Structure 1
């Protein structure tokens, strides 16, 4: 399997392997983590702790494995693309002789891909009829699984605001002070009885952010891990773009997506070939900030639910924004009548995609 950043590892790979483990323990899982501008640096460690994983090939060793090493593969197997660049999956297919199934990608590489695992029903007709299977969203599988909140993380008081800074600590020096300013304004001017939580990924430790602790006011309670529980407890989530945006939407919570670009624009990851230019001298400080601003003006949506459904699921605050602009958006969203609802077309996909994929993989390997 190939996976990319933290979103694919936590929201695609993990639910699939947990479902697969309940059906069989007679599989050998090798996970390949290609280079990725969205990587947090913790993907390998998280992956090694997942069930059924026998081997992990990280970005430092993947080229050597694909092009230099002699590898003996079992006689039967499958290449399962779950994220990254399809180039690595193509190469794995050629080297292993296994068929290639691709999850959640546009209908390209039709000659190389043996089966497209379609993530969203609205896209199904775009794929070749003989090479498509409507799987559904693996991330949604996580949200279909009920869980009991055994610990209350928010302090007494409402509304309950959850701030999610993402999984890339390189951006924390910019986003955490901004979040602190937003929380202070919300508390001081509009919601004096509110409670506030700053939710960090489970793979980070408090000591790793000791240099930033002075910038986090006591108003913001830091919690490490428990992201799903925090989302479930919250009344509104303030977050940067990422896979977690979809979890918030699936759980029916209100949210505002922020992308402040007035500081640290050289740290903003870019997709495709643009991301490869980060190795060039002077690129980060001189050219990249201008490009980021231009791309921000051209891109219609940055939040994943907004992009998937091409409509505003969450309001977005982007560019050279101020904390007060975010606070106004938060207040408007919190006071808006009605409930959050995804477009009805996706509600027809009700089967747990992780279990469905695990069944399909087991059936294929038993042939």
Structure 2
């Protein structure tokens, strides 16, 4: 059987936490399938999504511009060949792109979501993270047969291959001294503006606890050149009041050296979650990182410096308005303030626990305040142990990726049992673009939403 699975996604967090475990499971369960990752436009893109998808996941990749071009013209780049039958899997970005791909290809559409579903009449199945989302969707009159709770896909993305002890040994870290990981994220704006700020926190913490060892696990979406720019370019250092750093290569290791002489080991992306699990504590920005730390049971201090909120990206119409001259920065500050008022918590574990399980320091933050909170936690191993156990219980393994793939294949089989192709098989490439017809208005069974 010639089968395409087209995965739509956008940013680094979605690729690392959602796409990776699904692709790995597809390789095991459907080895003959051709996997295409269709990247869609995203203001938070790192610019390295295509490279990571191709190198680490071994999939064919459509750049955002190529995805948009295909939707508008039906033309694909030469390196991508479309099979006669397939299925669209939404794993991030605007759901409209997935629905539009369903229209263009006539493939059924399956959406994995942690938010309220959109376009229910054009989607064959919504795969949900938890029962709370199921109840919410039923209240919005989405048919029960279109809703399946599969679990939290992020849990399947975290699988360290070394024990914490072995990882420390390989990284030449002392077993008896605390390790603090600094996580500035993987999106360019986060990395550029927050890395030097985290160096300042490290210097403050080293005054309080000189034996602290620091690591910075490098995201596959963050090249070393970007880290160097973040800690050496005054434009980024000055925004949050960070400090400069010097990149030093020592044998097989790379370090960022702070003005106080503290060495922060940059752990390469190939270490992935093996690096995170050596941490006694992590200082992190909000995002997928907080979920990965929770899965590993790593206590954390979550920080969101808003000393300069106008540098933060904003999506949608609000983001366009924030680009207006003169009024733009003030509008952005107001919009971000309104967004945060609606958010009770900024970290994923606190959102799941519905309480302040891990500390969050949000607003006009001070590096010394953050360092003092980190010091307090490092001095309280019993509290960290209790937090670790609670974090793990929030993110239990559910084999979500396998359940998701089984649902995907079920929808594929149901769709083509009811809708055999009326046209002869052909490869769809740039020389044979598909021609839209009146029947292209939906990719599957016509059902009321």
TM above 0.5: yes
CA distance change for structure 1 residues 192 and 51 in 2, over 3 Å: closer, same or farther?
A: closer
What SS is found at the alignment partner of 1:209? Answer: helix
Corresponding residue of 1:168: 187
Pairwise CA distance, 1:224 = 2.6
Corresponding residue of 1:339: 387
Check if 1:352 corresponds to 2:399: yes
Corresponding residue of 1:66: 71
Contact 2:302 2:361 in 1 (8 A): yes
What SS is found at the alignment partner of 1:351? Answer: coil
Check if 1:26 corresponds to 2:18: no
What SS is found at the alignment partner of 1:2? Answer: strand
Corresponding residue of 1:234: 279
**Which among 227, 231, 244 is matched to residue 209 of structure 1?**
227
The CA distance in 1 between the partners of 2:393 and 2:202, in whole Å, is 34
Which structure has more RCO (C-alpha within 8 Å, separation ≥ 6)? 2
Contact 1:257 1:315 in 2 (8 A): yes
Corresponding residue of 1:291: 335
Corresponding residue of 1:43: 49
Corresponding residue of 2:293: 248
RMSD, aligned CA? 2.6
TM-score between the two structures when normalised by the length of structure 1: 0.88
CA distance change for structure 1 residues 114 and 212 in 2, over 3 Å: closer, same or farther?
A: closer
The number of residues matched between the two structures is 361
What SS is found at the alignment partner of 2:65? Answer: coil
Corresponding residue of 1:92: 101
Unaligned stretches of 5+ in structure 2? Answer: 1-6, 138-142, 233-243, 246-257, 415-449
The CA distance in 2 between the partners of 1:48 and 1:276, in whole Å, is 31
Pairwise CA distance, 1:212 = 4.1
Pairwise CA distance, 1:238 = 0.6
**Which among 109, 119, 126 is matched to residue 129 of structure 2?**
119
CA distance change for structure 1 residues 258 and 207 in 2, over 3 Å: closer, same or farther?
A: same
CA distance change for structure 1 residues 44 and 290 in 2, over 3 Å: closer, same or farther?
A: same
The CA distance in 1 between the partners of 2:178 and 2:394, in whole Å, is 31
Check if 1:8 corresponds to 2:17: no
Unaligned stretches of 5+ in structure 1? Answer: none
CA distance change for structure 1 residues 108 and 233 in 2, over 3 Å: closer, same or farther?
A: same
Corresponding residue of 2:161: 147
The CA distance in 1 between the partners of 2:19 and 2:98, in whole Å, is 15
TM-score between the two structures when normalised by the length of structure 2: 0.73
Q: Deviations over 1:282-339 (max 9, x none)?
A: 4654432343244334432221232344322321111111012212332344426223
